[in-house]
Amino acid sequence: MGDSIKLRYDVNGEDFVTCGQASEDVKRTLKGIGIPSATIRRVSIAMYEGEINMVIHGGGGVAEVEIFEDRITIVLKDTGKGIADIEKAMQEGYSTATEDIRELGFGAGMGLPNMKKYSDEFAIESKVGQGTTVTMTINFQEDA
Amino acid sequence: MSLYIKPVYLDADKCNGCVSCMKRCPTEAIRVRDGKATVRYERCVGCGECVKVCLTHAKKESCDSFDMLKNFEYTVALACPSIYGQFNHLDNLDYVLNGLLKLGFDDVFDVGYYSRFVSAATRRYIKDTDAKPIISSACPAVRNLILMRYAHLLDHLSPLKQPEEVAAEAAVEAAVKKTGLQREKIGVFLITHCAANLLNKADPDNQIDGFISLKEIYFPLLSEMNKLKASDLKPKAACDSHGVSWGCSTGESMGLGTKNFIVADGIENVMTVLNDLEHDKLGDIDFLELNACTQGCVGGSMNLENPFLARTRLRLFREKLPLVSAETDDISKYVRAKPYESKESAFLLSANRQEAMRKTILVKSIYDKLPKVNCGSCGAPTCKAFAEDVVNGLKVKCKFSKEEEIEIK
Ligand SMILES: Nc1ncnc2c1ncn2[C@@H]1O[C@H](COP(=O)(O)OP(=O)(O)OP(=O)(O)O)[C@@H](O)[C@H]1O
Ligand code: SF4
Ligand code: SF4
Ligand SMILES: [Mg+2]
């Protein structure tokens, strides 16, 4: 087994516009090592949703990504306001996004459910006032 | 040596190595080596951006020469609707088509006529498929961009043939029937405004033998058109109002019977929409009409008129022409025989995953030491691309870094 690829991104909590750069770079990296397209799409959606949540709800943070031969692990860590009721937050359609954010097309309450749906392993930890950490693992299935 | 189609080529004497084209290329296909722009053709989508941006006109589209007509006993020209936007005071489409006959073609086909069948098949396909939004496959540059950089969205790409392909098939059939000649003796030529069309040559079903630049024949054509009298005109034009509209953006979407479409033109804008699709952010959209050129085909690099004026001219024709629509329940005839295949291998660091991962780690360690200013003076479009080039064994230098720092150990 060779070494894994470790990537680290600062996700700026103020910046809506550049949001998505980390997932874009991860996508490019996965393409460079020949990961099948279907898997790339799953990674891309899951990571993008996580990045957006860090910006909109979490006030920014750090994304740490590790790519192994057979899987990718994504850890998204912010030191924002945290989530009081994780079970509720995980429900489809639940959102605390403001009207303004909804105007921008976010706030459907589908981010966390989709992140869970597209990853093979999903964990979320959060403490109110301290921050949230989401960990996702996606296995590389070869295209049928 | 290369098996790849070369939609563009360099007139090396004119190239001053300014790096403008390299900076503009959406797939990072260009490198400047020894002061001259080179293209990695396995990555070229034929968008023509490099041609449009080059101030010294060193970058050109690699079209076939008009002399190629001599290789055939019978020749047919295919004229795309955008051509009708290129002439001032044109009041009858038949002047253009009859002008082409005068130039030496034995017959001429109005591609816009065939768009009604593609629209009908697309309407049907929108009803039948779950892979929405459907991405139009009409723009060959966008099609190739998807195959190279967005292969994970391939499910969305329309599997249907496009009007010029349907027209080419009809032209072959008609010519064989009329002349009794063998297929090889019949030459089907697309009068093209866009370098990306040339990539059709790699398609196993391609029926177009030659791609002739509109720019090359424009003035001879104009002079033939000026000699024509209304009474000389053979009825060749067959576009309806939708058909003529396909020459510019939105034209295609208007014939689909859905209001839920997005139209984006210009390669950057196209990528913005594809990124949103990738992130599932488009919502309830049925169809994406994406054109690499500004305003659609009228913005192609081999047109003469500015795309905005050309668009207005097409609109005026649209208002004059009747609307004729077709219906089809069986779209199989319009589905391409061979499905599109990913071309993403052009961006692989190695076909072996372990080796590719090892290289990725190296790229990262080199990239971390670079100034990340993307100045382009090394001959690569970005610092990231430079790091990849170093790892791929190219002898390149960075002005801002010490050589021993970026050497691979
Ligand atoms: N990193 C985070 N920090 C604090 N709260 C969060 C974080 N991530 C999610 N939440 C809370 O969980 C809720 C649900 O998140 P989810 O991503 O599912 O939906 P959303 O972001 O509101 O809308 P969408 O993702 O569909 O645009 C959010 O509205 C927010 O209250
Ligand atoms: S734009 Fe490209 S082809 Fe034209 S002069 Fe500059 S480097 Fe050469
Ligand atoms: S035609 Fe487009 S893709 Fe090809 S080299 Fe030029 S800018 Fe790049
Ligand atoms: Mg969200």
Is the CATH code 3.40.30.10 the one for domain B349-409?
no
pLDDT value for A141: 81
Is the dihedral angle over the CA atoms B374, B378, B383, B384 positive or is it negative? positive
What is the DSSP code (8-state) at residue B61?
E
Q: Is the pLDDT of residue B297 over 70?
A: yes
pLDDT at residue B41 greater than cutoff 90:
yes
Phi-psi region of A60 (alpha: psi -120 to 50; beta: other; left: phi over 0): left
Among protein residues, the one whose CA lies closest to atom 9 of ligand 1: A53
CB B323 within 8 A of CB B242: yes
pTM: 0.91
Residue B371: HSE in the Cβ half-sphere, 13 Å Cα cutoff:
12
Domain boundaries, chain B: 1-62, 66-334, 349-409
Residue B2: pLDDT over 70:
no
Whole-angstrom distance, CA of residue B403 vs CA of residue B387: 13
- Report the nearest-CA residue for atom 5 of ligand 2: B15
Question: Are the beta carbons of B354 and A2 separated by less than 8 Å?
Answer: yes
* pLDDT tens-digit readout, B101-155: 999 999 999 999 999 999 999 999 999 999 999 999 999 999 999 999 999 999 9
Measured distance CA(B199)–CA(B229) in Å, rounded: 37
CB contact under 8 A, A20 and B344: no
Band of the pLDDT at B409, cuts 50, 70, 90? low
Fold for A5-139, please state it. Heat Shock Protein 90 (3.30.565)
What are the φ/ψ torsions at residue B191 (nearest 5 degrees)?
-85, 110
Confidence class of residue B397 from pLDDT cuts 50, 70 and 90?
confident
Give the number of the ligand closest to the Cα of residue B27: 3
Mean pLDDT of chain B: 94
CA distances from B400 to A56, B29, B370, B375, B377 (A): 37, 23, 8, 10, 10
Residue B164, pLDDT above cutoff 70: yes
- Per-residue pLDDT for A1 more than 70? no
User: Model confidence at B402, in pLDDT bands (50, 70, 90)?
Assistant: confident
Pocket test for ligand 3, best of B4, B8, B192 (most atoms within 8 A of CB): B8
Residue B131 sits at the chain A interface (C-beta within 8 Å): no
Q: What's the pLDDT at B172? A: 98
Question: Token digits for B168?
Answer: 């080419």
Please choose from B54, B60, B301 the residue to mutate so as to test ligand 2's pocket, defined by most ligand atoms within 8 A of CB: B54
pLDDT confidence of residue B3: 72
User: Which of B149, B275, B356 lies nearest to residue A32, judging by beta carbons?
Assistant: B356
* pLDDT band for position B93 (cuts 50, 70, 90): very high
Query: What's residue A102's pLDDT?
Result: 83
Give yes or no for residue B282 having a pLDDT over 70: yes
In this predicted structure, the answer to whether residue A104 has a pLDDT above a threshold of 70 is: yes
What's the pLDDT band for B61 if we cut at 50, 70, 90?
very high
E-state strands within B221-303: 261-265, 287-291
Partners of residue B280 in chain A, C-beta under 8 Å = 45, 114
Q: What percent of chain A has pLDDT over 90?
A: 78
Interface subset of A 73-132, CB within 8 angstroms of B: 105, 114
The pLDDT of residue B399 is: 83
pLDDT band at A144 (very low <50, low <70, confident <90, very high): very low
ipTM of the complex: 0.87
Mutate to test the interface with A, among B27, B145, B152, B285 (most CBs of A within 10 A): B152
For residue B308, give the 3-state DSSP assignment: helix
* pLDDT over 90 (residue A108): no
Q: CATH number of B1-62: 3.40.190.10, 3.40.190.80, 2.10.10.90, 3.30.70.20?
A: 3.30.70.20
Instruction: Answer whether B1-62 and B349-409 agree in fold.
Output: no
Is B325 a residue whose pLDDT tops 50? yes
pLDDT of amino acid B401: 82
